[in-house]
Chain A
């Protein structure tokens, strides 16, 4: 693919489906994310968000369709596509018996980061996420939030063009969450693409340029927050927030809530 075309869309899902045996986790996903865009995927548990991200980073293979990262097919040209991305899974498990700085050195080695670049970048990342003091301690002594921050640092060590984050704010304290939001916005402003999944609708509403709502393996709605809210208003009575738009697309839990209340009262 020509470089100019690569600049147009950094992440591209073309008719992507994923089945686990009889169960379809993702169905016919067509989606493009442009450079500098912060795209948020929201949806109920089990809707297919994590599967989508795992396919994009090469941990799962699409059953049908293809995914391009900066023009590179994640299956046919997986190694090259992975040079352009950084990934932080939900509740990231990282090597407990390495220290923070050793973990970042490992990530830099695997990504082929030059000594000069890592000398600049690693201290800056550690400083940015308040991990400088803990960098010499083994990760097993880190809190969940510190692990999450370290996984983010490892994903950013090679300055990837596309960053995939699965539930990035889970486990972070308000300060860490704020730092992350500022950092993500700054990344997008400098031309990087961020693709994240979240349950926190307020994060999606405040941060994302575009939001996709996943339901039952399908991308049920996609657009800016304003567009989704407008769409939600058209579909039924709504107070006008992203939450209402979300409920309109994924189905209201009102009956389930009533059942739960009844069970609690009994």
Chain B
């Protein structure tokens, strides 16, 4: 297992440092930026944390436990997804099963890899909070204890996730589990956000524990909850009580050892059986025969991409999650925040703005990866007599259709609740369709400029930096669109034909400019692209 962990460490190092000058530059820049943000967060957190530290001990405990509950839940959900990928679909798994590595050693390697990743995520997310607390209380020397508590806490959900996957795959094929995991992640995220938004709307704010605790504070006091053990270890360390802290950490470590032992004891033999079972192809489903109708290339690509999206639960859940969140935001009880912001504007203004942001997330998933999702299959299109313009338009078609359709449904649902007149619903729909089309073109163009074609998995088709860049560009685009269509409405009389037409023209101009520039750049990039 030590050799495997060493190989993983070496692979990580090679990927970050030994893949050429550009990658080294990226690693240094990204690392420096990340560290800067991480360090900058510490003083920002010190002030609010100071207040919490000054409050009653029970209050502080609940706040820290709330944060650790969220981290534990996040680790549990992601560990399920990671376990399916690493224990059943990793490229090295077939080879490792043929060399004399014990099944338990193999599982242990997967467990420690995931735990390292979980600890890194924990340090990135909660590190500033914990360091700020230690700085404020002057207990920086006890920080290793706090870090140990965090790692010991994460071991249990990671082990549980792995065990769950190994046991389930013994019964259900691994491919189905992978698809099911996507739905699970979607469902968990949706439930937590839904509860948070609804609780906020109905209760007018969250109780004592603040934004980190959407569930209320009562049960977080409970001593049976492992995150509260870790929270006790942390808060005791902040008070300088290292012995008390160590006691809770010992309990956490005992739990971690028990969880890992259970996984290796039960999971070891089951893993190999499950893997062997996963090699048997699941029952093949016959689908309806394809029609003989001849479609133009753009529509053929739209149909192909639509089918691919519909049959890929992972992509589908990534698409539906933001839409569902925006639907909850728009339709939750006592919703009205967006309307109160836009009291002097037409009644469609608020729903349209929110729907545009929903479309931003839809096209961030579909448009940005439209070209990149071709991955290693791109040769199919590039060796066909398909012009690059048709190719780009074909790849643009699905994001436009889905984003316009989904955002229209969202906006109309909200407008119906607000009793917006039918005429204004139609008018706002035209504005929305224009703006969203521009947004989709922006995303597709950006995705064509930097496509990642090394993968067959569409999820890998865009990098995180491109996604962040697009969210930035897309937000600026939405801002410009809203300002451009608002200016004619406020400078002339609201509701006149002239002002309405001017707003439509302004919207169309923004969409055309954004789309034309990025698609042109994407076209130029694809012309130079060699496969």
- A98 and B380 form a contact (CB under 8 A): no
- A108 and B294 form a contact (CB under 8 A): yes
- B308 and A97 form a contact (CB under 8 A): yes
A138 at the B interface (CB under 8 A)? yes
- B287 and A110 form a contact (CB under 8 A): no
Closest to B386 in A: A110
Closest to B528 in A: A61
Complex interface: chain A residues within 8 A of B456 (CB): 93, 96
Interface-located stretch among B320-328, B371-379, B480-488: B371-379
A113 at the B interface (CB under 8 A)? yes
- B281 and A110 form a contact (CB under 8 A): no
Closest to B391 in A: A110
Closest to B285 in A: A137
- B530 and A60 form a contact (CB under 8 A): yes
- B285 and A98 form a contact (CB under 8 A): no
- B294 and A95 form a contact (CB under 8 A): no
Complex interface: chain B residues within 8 A of A89 (CB): 379
- B380 and A95 form a contact (CB under 8 A): yes
For A61, A92, A110, A138, the residue with the greatest tally of chain B CB atoms inside 10 Å of its CB is: A110
How far, in whole Å, are A101 and B272 apart by their CA atoms in the complex?
35
A54 at the B interface (CB under 8 A)? yes
For B291, B295, B530, the residue with the greatest tally of chain A CB atoms inside 10 Å of its CB is: B530
For B379, B456, B530, the residue with the greatest tally of chain A CB atoms inside 10 Å of its CB is: B379
B94 at the A interface (CB under 8 A)? no
Given contacts A98-B307, A137-B285, 15 further A-B contacts (CB under 8 A): A58-B382, A59-B382, A79-B385, A79-B386, A83-B385, A89-B379, A93-B376, A97-B307, A97-B312, A99-B290, A104-B290, A105-B291, A110-B381, A119-B292, A154-B380
A102 at the B interface (CB under 8 A)? yes
- Give me the 9 closest cross-chain CB pairs, A-B, nearest first: A109-B300, A93-B376, A136-B286, A110-B384, A82-B385, A97-B311, A59-B531, A83-B385, A105-B290
Complex interface: chain B residues within 8 A of A85 (CB): 383
- B287 and A138 form a contact (CB under 8 A): yes
The minimal Cβ–Cβ distance linking A115 to chain B, given in whole angstroms, is 5
Complex interface: chain A residues within 8 A of B472 (CB): none
Complex interface: chain B residues within 8 A of A61 (CB): 530
B30 at the A interface (CB under 8 A)? no
B293 at the A interface (CB under 8 A)? yes
How far, in whole Å, are A198 and B384 apart by their CA atoms in the complex?
23
- A80 and B385 form a contact (CB under 8 A): yes
Complex interface: chain B residues within 8 A of A113 (CB): 294
How far, in whole Å, are A4 and B54 apart by their CA atoms in the complex?
93
How far, in whole Å, are A36 and B483 apart by their CA atoms in the complex?
65
B21 at the A interface (CB under 8 A)? no
Complex interface: chain A residues within 8 A of B304 (CB): 95, 98, 102, 106
B284 at the A interface (CB under 8 A)? yes
Interface residues on B, range: 35 or more
Complex interface: chain A residues within 8 A of B380 (CB): 94-95, 106-107, 110, 154
A57 at the B interface (CB under 8 A)? yes
- B294 and A111 form a contact (CB under 8 A): no
Complex interface: chain A residues within 8 A of B375 (CB): 93
Query: Which residues 24-70 in A have Cβ within 8 Å of B in the complex?
Result: 54, 57-61
For A61, A87, A95, A96, the residue with the greatest tally of chain B CB atoms inside 10 Å of its CB is: A95
- B294 and A98 form a contact (CB under 8 A): no
B297 at the A interface (CB under 8 A)? yes
- A95 and B377 form a contact (CB under 8 A): yes
How far, in whole Å, are A94 and B292 apart by their CA atoms in the complex?
20
How far, in whole Å, are A102 and B288 apart by their CA atoms in the complex?
10
Complex interface: chain A residues within 8 A of B286 (CB): 136-137
B387 at the A interface (CB under 8 A)? yes
- B379 and A59 form a contact (CB under 8 A): yes
Bitwise, A135-173 to B at CB < 8 A (1) or not (0) is: 111100100000000000010000000000000000000
How far, in whole Å, are A99 and B285 apart by their CA atoms in the complex?
10
Complex interface: chain B residues within 8 A of A199 (CB): none
- A94 and B377 form a contact (CB under 8 A): yes
Closest to A20 in B: B530
Complex interface: chain A residues within 8 A of B376 (CB): 93
- B531 and A137 form a contact (CB under 8 A): no
How far, in whole Å, are A96 and B377 apart by their CA atoms in the complex?
10
B289 at the A interface (CB under 8 A)? yes
How far, in whole Å, are A207 and B293 apart by their CA atoms in the complex?
37
A112: which of B285, B303, B385, B387 is its contact (CB, 8 Å)?
Answer: B385
Given contacts A57-B383, A95-B380, whether A106 and B292 have CB atoms under 8 Å apart is: no
Bitwise, B342-382 to A at CB < 8 A (1) or not (0) is: 00000000000000000000000000000000011101111
A-B residue pairs in contact (CB < 8 Å), sample of 29: A58-B382, A59-B379, A60-B530, A79-B385, A82-B384, A85-B383, A95-B304, A98-B307, A101-B290, A102-B304, A105-B300, A106-B304, A107-B384, A108-B294, A109-B294, A109-B295, A109-B297, A109-B299, A110-B300, A110-B381, A112-B385, A113-B294, A115-B293, A115-B294, A118-B292, A136-B288, A137-B284, A138-B285, A141-B281
- B290 and A102 form a contact (CB under 8 A): yes
The minimal Cβ–Cβ distance linking B252 to chain A, given in whole angstroms, is 42
Complex interface: chain B residues within 8 A of A80 (CB): 385
Closest to A114 in B: B294
The minimal Cβ–Cβ distance linking A193 to chain B, given in whole angstroms, is 16
B300: which of A101, A106, A119 is its contact (CB, 8 Å)?
Answer: A106
The minimal Cβ–Cβ distance linking B349 to chain A, given in whole angstroms, is 40
- B531 and A54 form a contact (CB under 8 A): yes
Closest to B295 in A: A109
Complex interface: chain A residues within 8 A of B300 (CB): 105-106, 109-110
Closest to A101 in B: B290
How far, in whole Å, are A136 and B284 apart by their CA atoms in the complex?
9
Complex interface: chain B residues within 8 A of A93 (CB): 375-377, 379, 456
Complex interface: chain A residues within 8 A of B386 (CB): 79, 82, 110
How far, in whole Å, are A44 and B6 apart by their CA atoms in the complex?
35
Bitwise, B266-300 to A at CB < 8 A (1) or not (0) is: 00000000000000011011111111111111011
Query: Which residues 150-171 in B have Cβ within 8 Å of A in the complex?
Result: none
Query: Which residues 216-255 in A have Cβ within 8 Å of B in the complex?
Result: none
How far, in whole Å, are A113 and B377 apart by their CA atoms in the complex?
21
Query: Which residues 385-409 in B have Cβ within 8 Å of A in the complex?
Result: 385-387
The minimal Cβ–Cβ distance linking A209 to chain B, given in whole angstroms, is 24
Closest to B377 in A: A93
The minimal Cβ–Cβ distance linking B332 to chain A, given in whole angstroms, is 35
B289: which of A58, A96, A101, A111 is its contact (CB, 8 Å)?
Answer: A101
- A95 and B383 form a contact (CB under 8 A): no
Closest to A54 in B: B531
Complex interface: chain B residues within 8 A of A105 (CB): 290-292, 300
How far, in whole Å, are A61 and B377 apart by their CA atoms in the complex?
19
How far, in whole Å, are A60 and B383 apart by their CA atoms in the complex?
10
The minimal Cβ–Cβ distance linking B382 to chain A, given in whole angstroms, is 6
Complex interface: chain B residues within 8 A of A58 (CB): 382-383
Complex interface: chain A residues within 8 A of B293 (CB): 115
How far, in whole Å, are A106 and B296 apart by their CA atoms in the complex?
10
How far, in whole Å, are A119 and B384 apart by their CA atoms in the complex?
20
Complex interface: chain B residues within 8 A of A111 (CB): 384-385
